[in-house]
Structure 1
Amino acid sequence: MVQISYRAAVARLASAQKSGAGQPAYLRWVNRPLGRRAAAVAAVLGLSPNAVTLLSGLCSLAALLVIALLPPTIAVALGATALLLAGYALDSADGQLARLTGTGSLAGEWLDHVVDAARLPLFHLAIAVHFFRWGDSYWLVGAALGYMVLSSVWFFAQTLAEKLGERGGDAPDAPAWMSFVKAPYDVGTVYLTVLALPFPTLFAALYLALLAFTLGVAALSLRRKYRMLAAQTRRATASAGG
């Protein structure tokens, strides 16, 4: 493998970036740039995309153990949030590293999706354990478990819709304000609520507000995907019949 400098790697990745239009604000303006720099560091160190994927998963797992097992102090909140956001940035870095080095593979993409499929549901499971151990309202445990199911179903529905034919990705003509509208269900936004862990009432309010928003958006998204796939089936049937 030809060695590349950090500066050259960042420049090459920056020139190959998608516009990000239509993507949630944190993902668009914070996580992708962080992922670009992490990918450049990984390239300099000679890491493979799969190694970055696994490192991303380990950062997330460490954060979840901290949230579930340690009391909600300010130090715990800061440490857990830093680990979560590092894992999220590395989740962006693995794909960018694969494009930079030309080492992308179906196996690597599969591994990335497996880690993603586990990451967010386990986050909400860790929050449920946190509420059980350190909270005084057990109905919040049920809310966190519901959020866990919602995140898993929505992730699977989005992934399967793409495989069945719905095109995803960035929307080049989407206005900038759409990124801010989508910010509440961005994974990065969800992770940032962990900063409020030492303040139980504030954390519960933020967490439940994101749950309500995400539930509404997910319901609309699932309805739209079903109708688009149904229309696609009708067009295919009509074309075959003609």
Structure 2
Amino acid sequence: MTAQDHADPPAPAHRRRGRFGAALNELSGAQKSQAGVPLYTRYVNRRLGRYAAAWAYTVRLTPNQVTGLSALCSAAALALVVTVSPALWLALTATVLLVIGYALDSADGQLARLTGSGGPAGEWLDHVVDAARNPALHLALLISLYRFADLPDWVLLLPMLFLLTTMVRFFGQMLAEQLRRREPMPSPADAQTDQKGRSIIQLPSDPGVINLVFVFLAWPWVFVWVYAGLLGANMLLALASLVRRFREMRHLQAALHDATITRGVS
């Protein structure tokens, strides 16, 4: 959007509706690849993000402002979790805020593509917010369980383990991607997987699914067992991911070694 766009007076309601529809249509044909994306993110969150991006476009928000709104929604939800004793209204409110925050996390990138205003600064900000939001979620649960839940002490280990599992897996994936980008090589055969199957398998690690678990906060033991089940699934997924990434790095190492020998012979 140009500076002149920002200087224009607010459009009438019927024109805003027209802008919304046009933006929604354009966004529908400009989505990122769905390959391997977990089911909630693929079928629910990106759709919600598309509507949020179209709305943001009609009210002339920038992608960075949408990122800020996403962070505020998530922060408000977690602030409630750590300061208020769990009750049904709290569980519902926190869940809705987390769902909105995650939808806006998708909307900022879609809005950037729609307006052609994407760039390293916006991508950096988006990832920094995600890097804060993901551990903060489990830390907020840890504080809530410690302050308000009349549960055995071992329950406090669950969010600690979940946080550790999430961060190790995330770092392993990001580092592998950076190493492969630095030394591009063909992917090994065992790295090619059925993308539809991956979308189903990755469902327990989908941030949208983890957000929805907050709805059970009003019933502590129900929440604990659902959360523990997700933790177990995520630990298995993290182990499989780390093994796969290590094999990819071994393949990359061997390929680089062979390339070095070939260059030396030639």
TM-score bracket, shorter-length normalisation: over 0.9
Shift of the alpha carbon at 1:6? Answer: 0.6
Please state if 1:37 is matched with 2:51: yes
Larger radius of gyration: 2
Partners of 1:31 and 1:92 within 8 A in 2: yes
Partners of 1:131 and 1:138 within 8 A in 2: no
Partners of 1:25 and 1:179 within 8 A in 2: yes
Equivalent residue letter for 2:153? Y
Please state if 1:159 is matched with 2:174: yes
Deviations 1:112-170 (A, max 9, x none): 111111111110000101110112222111221121122122222222222222799xx
Q: 1:210 to 1:65 in 2, by over 3 A?
A: same
Give the structure 2 partner of residue 143 of structure 1: 158
Equivalent residue letter for 1:237? H
Q: Percent sequence identity over matched residues?
A: 44
Equivalent residue letter for 1:210? L
Deviates more, 1:17-26 or 1:122-131: 17-26
Equivalent residue letter for 2:27? L
Question: What's the TM-score once normalised by structure 1's chain length?
Answer: 0.92
Give the structure 2 partner of residue 127 of structure 1: 141
Alignment of 1:226-241 (within 5 A): 226-241=246-261
Deviations 1:50-100 (A, max 9, x none): 111121111111111111111111100010001111110011111111111
Q: Distance in 2 between matches of 1:63 and 1:48?
A: 23
Shift of the alpha carbon at 1:178? Answer: 4.0
Q: Distance in 2 between matches of 1:121 and 1:110?
A: 17
Partners of 1:20 and 1:172 within 8 A in 2: no
Q: Distance in 2 between matches of 1:59 and 1:155?
A: 23
Partners of 1:38 and 1:89 within 8 A in 2: yes
Q: Distance in 2 between matches of 1:41 and 1:162?
A: 33
Partners of 2:202 and 2:237 within 8 A in 1: no
Alignment of 1:19-168 (within 5 A): 19-135=33-149, 136-165=151-180
Deviates more, 1:111-120 or 1:155-164: 155-164
Equivalent residue letter for 2:127? H
Unaligned regions of 5+ residues in structure 2, if any? 6-17
Q: Please tell me the root mean square deviation across aligned C-alpha atoms, in Å.
A: 2.0
Q: Distance in 2 between matches of 1:156 and 1:8?
A: 39
Q: Distance in 1 between matches of 2:66 and 2:178?
A: 25
Shift of the alpha carbon at 1:233? Answer: 2.1
Equivalent residue letter for 2:195? A
SS in 1 for 2:195: coil
Unaligned regions of 5+ residues in structure 1, if any? none
Equivalent residue letter for 1:194? F
Q: Distance in 2 between matches of 1:150 and 1:202?
A: 22
Please state if 1:187 is matched with 2:207: yes
In the TM superposition, structure 1's runs of 4+ consecutive aligned residues that sit over 3 Å from their partners are: none
Q: Distance in 1 between matches of 2:98 and 2:19?
A: 27
